[in-house]
């Protein structure tokens, strides 16, 4: 049998609609802050959905030179800023001696959509000679990974995951495996997304995936509520620094938590709809629990995918119940998307951070806007207010278009 390394989290960073660093994000989660408002990034007048969860008041100049930021898509800026936050938080140093043992994996479901749209407009109206030479490197989904690696000097395993809304969680899970198997000593990983663009919003609206609650945007993201009518698109990034327990202890690093399990599956069912009864998601949860060698009684909190769409919330509830049976009703299950909106490929990153903050600060983030119980969604969704609780083990679920399912398991250090 291989000698698996234990993998711990020593750094966290977040750029979100409810806070642009870890301290702000923590306060937002504890207070149940609502990050949804009218769209300001473009004129939404002609759009059926006129609101989103935007990142606001981000001082990118503190992390990225102005000249460089003009050559980076918004999603990549978010990813690099969160990565720099997490790296600084970890106290890790990259040298010539260890650079090849430290890698980066940042997932994105869409990548540089803003760049793609704006340059397509230039091509259409001004011709091919006016298209920016930075178009391709700005729009490709791996560029958050590439730019973070360049900024930090990480020369180890480097890739990008694009499994739609599961991308950030897959990036963390794949990084966990690399360290566990001894292929890297540390990884900077998570997700980044910036798809609040005319095409992004129009596309999801046409697919009937978004909420159209324009008269009350603040109440639009309402996971598990009987009157949910679609998700609210969000943007941002969540990044973790993972490393071997041995490496962290050797340098006396602060350890937030341990990552202990990773399960990933595919529904192989439909391009957007989840498999009936959440069978694929349930299998991912089961695999993560088995990977962590956990008993079901040890799970104290589940950060749900909880998108606020009819099919997802119902099927995720079924998936949880199929695994935990009667104990399902004793486990707090909340969706932080009620506050942040749905960051697509970035959601797994900020939700993993939420789990780690839950473990370290002994609270459970709420599902805000929960007013009307749905008989098909009958678990404890921590309605409207955060809850003090001793959290020893937390699971994070992420499910994406194409049938991609991920579950991550985190625990306090034993």
Task: With beta carbons less than 8 A apart as the criterion, state whether 406 and 284 touch.
Answer: yes
What pLDDT digit, counting tens, does each position of 31-46 carry?
999 999 999 999 999 9
Nearest to 13 by CA among 146, 148, 108: 148
Residues contacting 255, CB < 8 A, separation 6+: 8, 9, 10, 245, 248, 413
pTM above the 0.95 mark? yes
Domain boundaries, the chain: 7-250, 261-411
Same fold: 7-250 with 261-411: yes
Pick the CATH number of 7-250 from 3.40.47.10, 3.40.350.10, 3.60.90.10, 3.40.50.720: 3.40.47.10
- Span 261-411 CATH architecture: 3-Layer(aba) Sandwich (3.40)
Residue 2, pLDDT score: 59
Catalytic residues: 165, 305, 342
Residue 51, pLDDT score: 98
Residue 138, pLDDT score: 95
What pLDDT digit, counting tens, does each position of 139-189 carry?
999 999 999 999 999 999 999 999 999 999 999 999 999 999 999 999 999
3-state SS, residue 348: helix
Q: Report the DSSP beta bridge partners of residue 404.
A: 266, 400
Residue 106's H or E segment, with its range, is strand 102-107
Query: Which parts of the chain have pLDDT scores under 70?
Result: 1-2
Tokens of 400: 């994406």
Residue 70, pLDDT score: 86
């Amino acid at each position: 049998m291989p000698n698996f390394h234990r993998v711990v989290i020593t750094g966290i960073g977040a750029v979100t609609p409810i806070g642009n660093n870890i301290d702000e994000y923590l306060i937002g989660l504890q207070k149940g802050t609502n990050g949804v408002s009218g769209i300001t990034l473009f004129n939404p007048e002609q759009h059926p959905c006129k609101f989103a969860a935007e990142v606001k008041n981000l001082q990118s100049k503190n992390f990225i030179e102005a000249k460089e930021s003009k050559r980076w898509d918004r999603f990549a800026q978010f990813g690099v800023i969160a990565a720099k936050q997490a790296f600084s938080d970890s106290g890790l140093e990259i040298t010539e001696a260890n650079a090849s043992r430290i890698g980066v994996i940042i997932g994105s479901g869409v990548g540089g959509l803003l760049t793609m749209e704006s340059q397509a407009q230039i091509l259409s109206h001004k011709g091919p000679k006016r298209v920016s030479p930075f178009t391709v490197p700005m729009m490709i989904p791996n560029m958050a990974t590439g730019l973070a690696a360049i900024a930090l000097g990480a020369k180890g395993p480097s890739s990008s995951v694009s499994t739609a809304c599961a991308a950030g969680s897959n990036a963390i899970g794949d990084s966990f495996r690399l360290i566990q198997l001894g292929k890297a000593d540390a990884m900077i990983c998570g997700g980044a997304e910036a798809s609040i663009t005319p095409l992004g919003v129009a596309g999801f609206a046409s697919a009937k995936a978004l909420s159209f609650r324009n008269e009350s945007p603040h109440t639009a993201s309402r996971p598990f509520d009987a009157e949910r009518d679609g998700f609210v698109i969000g943007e941002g990034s969540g990044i973790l620094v993972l490393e071997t327990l041995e490496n962290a202890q050797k340098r006396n690093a602060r350890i937030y938590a341990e990552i202990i399990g990773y399960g990933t599956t595919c529904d192989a069912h439909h391009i957007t709809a989840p498999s009936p009864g959440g069978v694929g998601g349930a299998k991912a949860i089961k695999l993560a629990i088995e990977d962590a060698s956990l008993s079901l009684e040890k799970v104290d909190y589940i950060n749900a995918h909880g998108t606020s769409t009819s099919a997802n919330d119902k099927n995720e509830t079924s998936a949880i119940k199929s695994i935990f049976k009667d104990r399902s009703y004793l486990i707090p299950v909340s969706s932080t998307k009620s506050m942040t909106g749905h960051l697509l490929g970035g959601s797994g990153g900020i939700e993993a951070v939420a789990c780690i903050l839950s473990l370290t600060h002994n609270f459970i983030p709420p599902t805000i806007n929960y007013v009307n119980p749905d008989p098909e969604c009958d678990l404890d969704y921590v309605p409207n207010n955060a809850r003090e609780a001793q959290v020893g083990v937390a699971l994070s679920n992420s499910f994406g278009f194409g049938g991609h399912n991920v579950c991550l398991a985190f625990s306090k250090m034993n």
